[in-house]
Amino acid sequence: MKKAQLVFIPSPVVGHLVSSVQFAKLVLDRNDSFLITILVLSNPSAGSISKYIESLASVHKQIKFISLPETVAPPSAEALSVSVEHAFTRYINDHKTIVKDVIVNQVIANDPAPIASVVFDLFCTAFIDVAKELGVPSHVFFTSGAAFLGSMIYLSDREENGQPKFRPTDPDYIIPFYANPVPYRVLPLMHKDEGYETFAYHGRRFKDANGIIVNTFSEVESHVVHALLARNDIPPIFNVGPLMDHKGKSFPGTDAVKPEEISKWLDDQPEKSVVFLCFGSGGGFDEAQLKEIAIGLEKSGHRFLWSVRLKPSEGQLHASYLGNYGEVLPEGFLERTKNIGMLCGWAPQVEVLAHKAVGAFVSHCGWNSTLETLWYGVPIITWPLYAEQHINAFQLVKDLGLAEELTLDFRRDCPTDIVRAEDITKAVKTMMEQGGDFRNKAKAISEMAQKAVAEGGSSYVTLGNLINQWLENNP
Per residue in 171-210, pLDDT (tens digit) is 999 999 999 999 999 999 999 999 999 999 999 999 999 9
Which whole-number Å values give the CA distances from 26 to 29, 70, 240, 265, 467, in the listed order? Answer: 5, 30, 10, 33, 11
pLDDT of 301-349, one tens digit each? Answer: 999 999 999 887 665 556 667 778 888 999 999 999 999 999 998 899 9
Given its phi and psi angles, is residue 92 left (phi above 0), alpha (psi -120 to 50 degrees) or beta? Answer: alpha
Is pLDDT above 60 for 75?
yes
405-411-415-420 Cα dihedral, nearest 10 degrees: 10
Can you tell me the mean pLDDT for 229-251?
Answer: 84
4-246+455-472: CATH, from 3.40.50.2000, 3.30.1330.30, 3.40.50.300, 1.10.3720.10:
3.40.50.2000
pLDDT: is 14 or 383 the higher one? Answer: 383
Are 159 and 200 in contact by the 8 Å Cβ rule? The answer is: yes
Residues paired with 310 in a beta bridge = 285, 320
DSSP letter string, 287-331: HHHHHHHHHHHHHHT-EEEEE-EEPPPTT--S-EE-S-GGGTSPT
- Nearest Cα residue to 471 out of 137, 179, 96, 57: 137
Cα dihedral value 363, 368, 372, 373, nearest 10: 30
DSSP characters for 421-453?
HHHHHHHHHHHHHH-HHHHHHHHHHHHHHHHHH
Residues of the chain with CATH 3.40.50.2000: 4-246+455-472, 259-448
pLDDT averaged over the chain?
Answer: 92
Per-residue pLDDT tens digits for 266-291: 999 999 999 999 998 778 899 999 99
The CATH code of domain 259-448 reads 3.40.50.2000
HSE (CB half, 13 Å, CA atoms) of 118? 29
Q: For residue 61, what pLDDT band results from cuts at 50, 70 and 90?
A: confident
Q: Which segments of 135-258 does DSSP mark as H helices, in order? A: 146-160, 193-205, 222-229
Bridge partners for 139 per DSSP: 119, 211
Q: What SS3 class is residue 189?
A: helix
Could you tell me the sign of the dihedral formed by the alpha carbons of 387, 239, 29, 11, in that order?
negative
What are φ and ψ of residue 89, in 5° steps?
A: -65, -45
Q: What is the DSSP string of 322-381?
A: -S-GGGTSPTTHHHHTTTTEEEESS--HHHHHTSTTEEEEEE---HHHHHHHHHHT--EE
Q: What is the DSSP letter of 285?
A: B
Q: Is the peptide bond between 242 and the residue preceding it cis, with omega within 30 degrees of 0?
A: yes
Among 139-153, 301-315, 428-442, where is mean pLDDT lowest? 301-315
State yes or no: pLDDT of 102 exceeds 50.
yes
What's the confidence (pLDDT) of residue 253? 45
- What is the arithmetic mean of pLDDT over 356-366? 97
